[in-house]
Amino acid sequence: MSQASQRSQANLAESIGERVTIRLREPEGGFRDIVGILQKFDSGTGELINSKGKALTFSENEIAIWREVKPLPDRAGAGAPYSLRINELELLSDTTWPADKVIEFGKWRLRISDGFTMRANSVLPTGAAPYGDPGIEISDAVQEIVKIYRDHGLTPTFTLPLPVFEELDSYLQHQGWSLKVGAEYLVNEIPKELELTRPDFDVVVRDEPSKEWLSVQSDFALERIMRNYPAKYAEIQIQGKTVAIGRIATLGTWSLATRVFVNPEFRGRGIGNLLMRALMAAARTDGATKIGLQVDVENGAALALYRAMGFRFHHPYRYRVLNEVSAP
């Protein structure tokens, strides 16, 4: 066996378990390509499993050239049409922060809870633009959901992912719906290694929110909603005092951070950065490789922190409400 052949065999053997493409010489001349996961390669023979689950064998003498097929990076917020990616992230938020009750109104999701959070008490359009496909004329649909929310003692509210539902946003604005909150959806990849050691701070991560966690932002009214979906709850403590908190929930390879807060007295000391790293580390143990979070556009300090950590803008969204005073 030539030195070149020996090197080829050794190198290919190092790719067992990886996806490879191999060009093989045909006995009658010419070439054929095989692609799949390399199962074994020793003593001059190899085997791979192709995409149909079929085992293909080959000999080293047949190999003209081969290479490992590197997977595309699992980059947060990339790869699919923009509208589909927006829908994926909004459904991530919807699933991991579940309302007490959901009414399917065409392809509008009417989330109804106790009124404490807009996400769990608002309409989320999930169908095609421009209006999200409520199943009936837009004017009739809006009138109907106004009645439903008011019958539940709730302020009629829409969650409007943009730019997909810009026309719906404009329609509601002209109908007297007020802008309540403007926010940005940010995304990032979760690093494989996250440094959590700080001699002056303690990092605590639990499967349930502690009383101390809930007391930081007076989140007792949200406890039921938060417990409706499995999540991790991180605290940063200084000498036993909880000074920062956050929640992170995982769905597939995505995770969503919510209720992220640092006590104003302790800001500017890197606690926010440490908290986010703790949340990402917790999500990675649950199988997440990507993270999303939502930030009010008025919160410049938080936006600056997240961008410094590598978070990227994905899409904006708005909450519009119909108060009694703004009703037409």
What digits encode the pLDDT tens for the residues 110-144?
999 987 899 999 999 999 999 999 999 999 999 99
Q: What is the rounded average pLDDT of the residues 51-55?
A: 77
Which DSSP state fits 17?
A: T
Domain that holds residue 97: 82-182+319-326
Q: Which DSSP helix (H) or strand (E) runs through 152?
A: none
- Look at the chain and report how many structural domains it folds into: 3
Are 27 and 87 within one domain? no
Q: How confident is the model at residue 37 (pLDDT cuts 50, 70, 90)?
A: confident
Q: Which DSSP helix (H) or strand (E) runs through 129?
A: none
> Do 319 and 157 meet the contact criterion of CB atoms below 8 Å apart?
yes
Are 174 and 223 within one domain? no
Q: What is the rounded average pLDDT of the residues 145-161?
A: 97
Are 165 and 208 within one domain? no
Are 86 and 172 within one domain? yes
The rounded percent of the chain whose pLDDT value lies above 70 is: 92
pLDDT digits (tens, 9 = 90+) for 190-238: 998 898 888 889 999 999 999 999 999 999 999 999 999 999 999 999 9
Task: Evaluate the CA torsion angle 76, 80, 81, 87 in order and state its sign.
Answer: negative
Q: What is the pLDDT of residue 288?
A: 93
Are 164 and 209 within one domain? no
Strands (E), 50-174: 55-59, 63-68, 101-105, 108-112, 123-125, 157-161
Are 136 and 197 within one domain? no
Cα–Cα–Cα angle for 153, 249, 124, rounded to 5 degrees: 40
CA–CA distance, 154 with 323 (Å, rounded to integer): 10
Helix (H, G, I), strand (E, B) or coil at 249: strand
The rounded percent of the chain whose pLDDT value lies above 90 is: 73
Q: What is the pLDDT of residue 227?
A: 92
CA–CA distance, 13 with 41 (Å, rounded to integer): 5
Torsions phi, psi for 293 (to 5 deg) = -155, 160
Are 276 and 215 within one domain? yes
Q: 23, 4, 16, 5: which is closest to 46 by C-alpha?
A: 16
